[in-house]
Structure 1
């Protein structure tokens, strides 16, 4: 005894793969019933004056009846489906007597194997890209026609079916997006907890030796020889001031980590912060024989710790990437605008080629491996800029060098108050 395989007698659209991918996004095959469709198919039967109407969706190998009027919805093989044939036609199909139409005469829905359909009409269900997902179909056991208004009504109801399906698809996408947000939120909570633990451990490890440094410097300041030596006294005072600022910065970093990395906004006098930064990196500035010119800088709205780190990275880079052929000169300028503040850090160093400027703020990017560095400084600057909804632009300095422009926005409420003043 030999087995026979049924021949595939249904036509396959040229866009079959794209059509199936589109169908998958709706999540309607095998999913829960769409509550609005039964009313639409009942209205289709009424408009067309027939006892039966159905929404048929054609998958890769099946016809799925999502909603039916006049009979119970079910599933059949695609090769048995009349709608699998109608869906590749150029438009709405209306057949007075299917037994006389060569496209459908041998269908089991016509021959009596499944049903005895005579009148058959279907309007295609097309997605927004033109892929046909199925049909809104009406049929009867006796031959007859559709009037032009009935045909127009069937087409309009098919578009209504697609509206229902689109609404379901968007709702499904929204659920997926909300689920992703929920999972991302949980991951952020876990990440923030890890960050807080890490920051606490690092702060502890840094504060222990720093406590010793502060203690020894404080003791040193009380030594009579230091008290009577102006140079030694000045050096000890600077060391004590820098170590104290480092202590506060560690505390600020720990505080920042404990609130999940959110900046704490306040009014920040950049002029004061810039002078503190120059003092902190004074050893590097002196070693490079650099001059740092700080013009009056504005008071801005931001996180004082992050802005200090921002200026420290920009100034340190200016010193590090100096031009060995000429004295290093760095100039800080700033100004207030109606919507925010701008700060420029300009140097006369070796500069950054224009083609490399877009990528120097990426993590671990090092354009000059021969110069000591980690490739983290400008990436940190970018994160600070993003946290402040600010902008950072890297350009060249006339005559050679690099100019970094930072633009910090004013809070909307402050802009509104200034406009009313």
Structure 2
């Protein structure tokens, strides 16, 4: 048995691995789907996604193997990441002097055949491998090798997407913390106009960060994932078992979920940059326009959507229609399975002084808009959480979503210098109460 060489850029490689914050995380379906598909394509009993630190190889996903890590000195993958071959293959480890005395060969899982593709970042540093293993000799066809390479690319894309999301969340928390600290200092020294200016500057910085991540860092790897899925579907789909076809379809669904996330992020950022002209319009007119857009979905779910009382509102129409769209689709999504969704909208003009509990200008008039539904509702203690970006009260298995829809609603209200609150309880639907300054009193 011959121990693998240490990578020539080992210190840099380990630092890169730590930056993903992936080691010792819980299993994830997207990674498990890739190992299952790799095993199905290559017809092997074992497939692994391995990540190597300085002491062990840890398995982010381990299909057909019970253990979650092994010592690095026994790792076939340690040889794979230090070689120059695009795919490291050992047809029969029992006859290879590097491995014939390896405990993973002489004992469980009795490795005979091994094929691993290094998982490299854009700069060529390897984090680990996507590998397939068998307890008997075998060879891979060129088509199987190509498919394994495609799947390894998708593993890297998942890792990059995870890293980008973590960086986005950290940046958002840092910005939020900085915003609160700065706001307190400014509030002591300036008037309300200066405070609003600082808030707009912080929002613009936040927007630039979101636009950059959405327009490049997230969309580029997503396009690659979709391209690779298409390639596998075109060349290998008929050769897959029914289970393999199912797994490929699951990967395609995962890509669709990421596409929805990106679209919602772009919508979240665009609330500051589009449709800047304020217009006084009928609330019912905007509701009817959104109703037309949602006609198929409303019909499919047998949804009742009606305006009980109309009033004038002074808004940026495109933005406010996006707000209504998000509230209506939210009501449909979280409807009770046994009842058809019912959404009621009403509006009236009120004085700011009538609501001392809110931060409304007492001398101004506001359009007060109520949007209520008969859905599953939520515990009132989560009132603030539902408006925070990436915050969700349900898992994907229960209700799919990105946790951005109501954050967009809150941001649109903020750009209109308005207020929003919600009342709800479990099983009793939700009522959103919106206040928008009327006519020339708005921003």
- Work out whether the TM-score is over 0.5: no
TM bin, normalised by shorter chain, reads 0.3 to 0.5
What's the TM-score, normalizing by structure 1? Answer: 0.44
> Could you tell me the TM-score, scaled by structure 2's length?
0.42
Structure exhibiting the larger radius of gyration computed from Cα positions = 1
